[in-house]
Structure 1
Amino acid sequence: MRDFSELELDGALLQAVEDLGYSRPTVVQAQAIPPALDGRDVLASAPTGTGKTAAFVLPMIQHLLDFPRRKPGPARVLILTPTRELAIQVADQARALAAQTDLKIFTITGGISYDEHAEYLGKTQDIVVATPGRLMEYVEGEKFDCRAIECLILDEADRMLDMGFGAIVKRVHDECRWRRQTLLFSATLEGKGVREFSRTILNEPIEVNAEPPRRERKKIHQVYHRCDDMTHKLALLENILKEQAERTIIFVKTRERLAELRDQLAAMQVPCCWIQGEMAQASRNNTIRRFKEGEVNVLIATDVAARGIDLPDVSHVVNFDMPRTADVYLHRIGRTARAGKKGTAISLIEAHDQAMIERVGRYMKEEVPERFIEGMRPTHKKPVTVKKKKKAKDSKKKKTAKKK
């Protein structure tokens, strides 16, 4: 599909798409928008950076334009996201896509006072973007009318399940039982969680797999450096930040590690900002603004920022700590090489991380190469990892065979 005009969208939407500089539909947009416009349920695997927000927002706006409301009332489209940052970002993009219309788009998230939300929930809404926990407060307080919802969208469903929102999302699904359509977007459809969940809430869905082509992944130059110890690791990081990187996101595993690294960067005279869980909304917004506007070019983040937040012109992603799983690694490095640009992802690997970087290579079906910085090579030998799980499975098979 070469042009958005092939999607049979309203002229107002085509104008908004042009104003935003979208040249042609991405894979997920080309595959998900047509069945969504036909009113079908959609189950989509759409990693970050693939244009998935427009893939579900455009057909929803088209539906609202095709079937305009006859009188003021509550929201007709509900979009659930796992985090406040993603909700704000989705709402902002929805407003940009609806710029040529009179549609009203609101957010319901934590960090905003109950009274402030209650004030505009009494007004006419067309699209509401919400986080599950805060939305359920208003549903239970009979402040939000789920009976009016015609379309329900779950964005980053896998992340919502990981964060323990499964029961609340199921409750929202039940409360919105009169709706005509459901769209579920997830970074991956692997594993039982999302599959079982989708069977509960979707009706004969069209499945879309928008895994970015290999050439897109090639835009991210991935390498790793082995580290002897924390002193060596910090020296490598300082070299990367001062000699190689322009705008960098550094991922760490815990808030405690973030606090330590923040102090260590201050000692290196490297200005930074940071984002983590349980942070006041005003502080989060200020951090994102400072980084987006270039006031600070280094952002330290826990994995709360690995999904969904669109931060422009990130040249480098540094995994100071490796994530727990390979798919989270992909979400992290997806913060760079966006909008057709190239980027670099560097992982700093201690001995206990060697198995994970090799697991990442198997997950991506291509190894992440090891590289060295002159004068900073590791003195220890590379640890050899043993695939224990495979042996365990083989021994079980042998025991079963003997019993037979």
Structure 2
Amino acid sequence: MNTPTFEALDLSPELLKALAKKGYNRPTSIQQQTIPAALEGRDVLGSAPTGTGKTAAFLLPAIQHLLDHPRRKPGSPRILVLTPTRELAMQVAEQAEELAQFTNLKIATITGGVAYQNHGEVFNTNQDLVVATPGRLLQYIKEENFDCRSVEVLIFDEADRMLQMGFGQDAETIAAETRWRKYTWLFSATLEGELLVDFAQRILTNPLEIDAEPSRRERKKIQQWYYHADSLEHKTKLLARIISNFEVERGIVFVRRREAVRELSETLRKRGIRSTYLEGEMAQTQRNQSITRLKEGVVNVLVATDVAARGIDIDDVDFVINFDLPYSADTYLHRIGRTARAGKKGSAISLVEAHDYKLLGKIQRYTEEVLKPRLIDGLEPRTKAPKDGEIVSVTKKEKARIKKKKEDKKEAAKKKVKVRHKDTKNIGKRRKPTTEQKSES
């Protein structure tokens, strides 16, 4: 089956021109499924790993909605995007600016870490689309500086992380304040977890569920392999040699522990590799500096933990290196999704010690792909991989089991009758149009 083009998704010439300028030729899986449903006026509950075009999946129909229904006079924002972090808010706004560059639409951000008076333009001038973090936005709503009545589409990006960070109550209050909205679109890394399911049931109305795992074709653009390491010292030598041998131009190195981030970055610098780091405790200006240095090519490598790097969108990352394997196979997919973005190719390399082989086996079974080992001349390991069968190829039997499990899950989702809370709760629900209320009575 041929992948449809963006033209086939009924997008306006202004958007198609912006997509062409960005080099986006064909929509990704999440975009193919989300855009038509969103333009039809459905609420959407979408799941997609990072790097699969999720941001454009909700920005394109949002901007198209504004173009299809132009406002008659200037006013308050009509599209509101909520993100858990200020970095993500800035990145979403930046992408919105790029996609809307051939329109007259106004885009703004409201985040913490910015002086109050700097948000004056959002309150005093015409705005069409605002990207905000929940805490700061709620402060302005309470002070009656932000008018929620004009919001037509409310979008939650990385809702799972928003809830994990304790923004659930703020998000629900904002949903209640924007109850006049027409549509709600919620995106999350996963659609599992009682917290997320409960939250989605309260704020969405009969949503279309979209679970867009990257297709095998999309994943094949990422070349994956691993190196067996004897020890931490051996692993560090392998990392430095990999960066040099492959002439890494823009790479992200993932570690598990926050304490190791600065130390590893410093070690690489001593070996002549231009490196910086990202950790959760850094001041906002320092975080921005580190990301900018990698984007602009001042450094070639960014060392980070999953928590620090979550939501950071950097184009043209050619290598993702797992200095430490993640405990979750899902996290592995998120990590490697930071390379090979927008149809480009990339590489994902893992450094594996003896105690990591159980994790490697889990990752292989989850992704249904076999990662092959490689050697580096002069740095061959002295130890061997464990022979306890923990690392195995994905057998046909295992593949069939995984496939059946996915099919059963889809079938169950179709049959499942959702028990909604709207009869007992009305937190953040949209008001029904007056005509609809009359017809019911």
What TM-score comes out, normalization by structure 2 length?
A: 0.81
1:395 paired residue number: none
> Does the Cα contact within 8 Å between 2:51 and 2:339 map onto a contact in 1?
no
Matched, 1:32 2:34: yes
Whole-angstrom distance in 1 between the partners of 2:4 and 2:10: 13
User: Which shows bigger deviation, 279-288 or 149-158?
Assistant: 279-288
How does 1:36-55 map onto structure 2 within 5 Å? 36-55=38-57
2:238 paired residue number: 236
TM-superposed CA distance for 1:308, in Å, is 3.7
Whole-angstrom distance in 2 between the partners of 1:117 and 1:263: 38
Matched, 1:369 2:365: no
Whole-angstrom distance in 1 between the partners of 2:285 and 2:62: 30
> Does the Cα contact within 8 Å between 2:255 and 2:305 map onto a contact in 1?
yes
Specify every segment of 5 or more residues in structure 2 that has no aligned partner in the other structure, as ranges.
392-441
1:95 paired residue number: 97
Among residues 153, 172, 175, which one is paired with 1:173 in the alignment?
175
Matched, 1:14 2:13: no
1:328 paired residue number: 331
4+ aligned runs moved over 6 Å, structure 1? none
Specify every segment of 5 or more residues in structure 1 that has no aligned partner in the other structure, as ranges.
388-404
* 1:246-299 deviations in Å (ceiling 9; x for gaps): 222111223321111122112212121222224333333332222122221111
Query: Which amino acid counterpart does residue 286 of structure 1 have in structure 2?
Result: Q
1:205 paired residue number: 207
1:147 paired residue number: 149
How does 1:59-78 map onto structure 2 within 5 Å? 59-78=61-80
Whole-angstrom distance in 2 between the partners of 1:367 and 1:359: 11
> Does the Cα contact within 8 Å between 1:245 and 1:316 map onto a contact in 2?
no
TM-superposed CA distance for 1:348, in Å, is 1.7
Among residues 273, 284, 289, which one is paired with 1:286 in the alignment?
289
Among residues 86, 89, 93, which one is paired with 2:88 in the alignment?
86
SS in 1 for 2:372: coil
* 1:310-333 deviations in Å (ceiling 9; x for gaps): 323222111112223221111111
How does 1:282-361 map onto structure 2 within 5 Å? 282-304=285-307, 306-361=309-364
Whole-angstrom distance in 1 between the partners of 2:212 and 2:115: 37
> Does the Cα contact within 8 Å between 2:361 and 2:390 map onto a contact in 1?
no
Among residues 259, 267, 274, which one is paired with 1:256 in the alignment?
259
> Does the Cα contact within 8 Å between 2:48 and 2:213 map onto a contact in 1?
yes
TM-superposed CA distance for 1:216, in Å, is 1.5
Distance 1:194 1:72, change over 3 A: same
Query: Which amino acid counterpart does residue 104 of structure 2 have in structure 1?
Result: D
Whole-angstrom distance in 1 between the partners of 2:66 and 2:257: 42
Whole-angstrom distance in 1 between the partners of 2:359 and 2:144: 47
Query: Which amino acid counterpart does residue 345 of structure 1 have in structure 2?
Result: A
Whole-angstrom distance in 1 between the partners of 2:57 and 2:292: 26
2:218 paired residue number: 216
Whole-angstrom distance in 2 between the partners of 1:85 and 1:333: 20
* 1:28-67 deviations in Å (ceiling 9; x for gaps): 2221111111111011122222222222112111222222
1:401 paired residue number: none
User: Which shows bigger deviation, 104-113 or 309-318?
Assistant: 309-318
Distance 1:379 1:339, change over 3 A: same
Whole-angstrom distance in 2 between the partners of 1:324 and 1:107: 34
Query: Which amino acid counterpart does residue 110 of structure 2 have in structure 1?
Result: I
Whole-angstrom distance in 2 between the partners of 1:244 and 1:19: 29
SS in 2 for 1:362: helix
Query: Which amino acid counterpart does residue 324 of structure 1 have in structure 2?
Result: Y
TM-superposed CA distance for 1:386, in Å, is 7.4
TM-superposed CA distance for 1:5, in Å, is 2.4
Whole-angstrom distance in 1 between the partners of 2:305 and 2:299: 17
TM-superposed CA distance for 1:183, in Å, is 0.7
Whole-angstrom distance in 1 between the partners of 2:164 and 2:351: 26
TM-superposed CA distance for 1:381, in Å, is 4.1
> Does the Cα contact within 8 Å between 1:245 and 1:315 map onto a contact in 2?
no
SS in 2 for 1:339: helix
Whole-angstrom distance in 1 between the partners of 2:281 and 2:173: 24
Whole-angstrom distance in 2 between the partners of 1:227 and 1:44: 38
RMSD: 2.2
2:192 paired residue number: 190
* 1:146-174 deviations in Å (ceiling 9; x for gaps): 23211111112222233332232222222
SS in 1 for 2:373: coil
> Does the Cα contact within 8 Å between 2:86 and 2:112 map onto a contact in 1?
yes
* 1:102-134 deviations in Å (ceiling 9; x for gaps): 211101122211221245323221111112222
Distance 1:365 1:96, change over 3 A: same
SS in 1 for 2:24: coil
> Does the Cα contact within 8 Å between 1:252 and 1:300 map onto a contact in 2?
yes
Among residues 95, 113, 116, which one is paired with 1:114 in the alignment?
116
Query: Which amino acid counterpart does residue 355 of structure 1 have in structure 2?
Result: K
> Does the Cα contact within 8 Å between 1:306 and 1:335 map onto a contact in 2?
no
User: Which shows bigger deviation, 268-277 or 185-194?
Assistant: 185-194
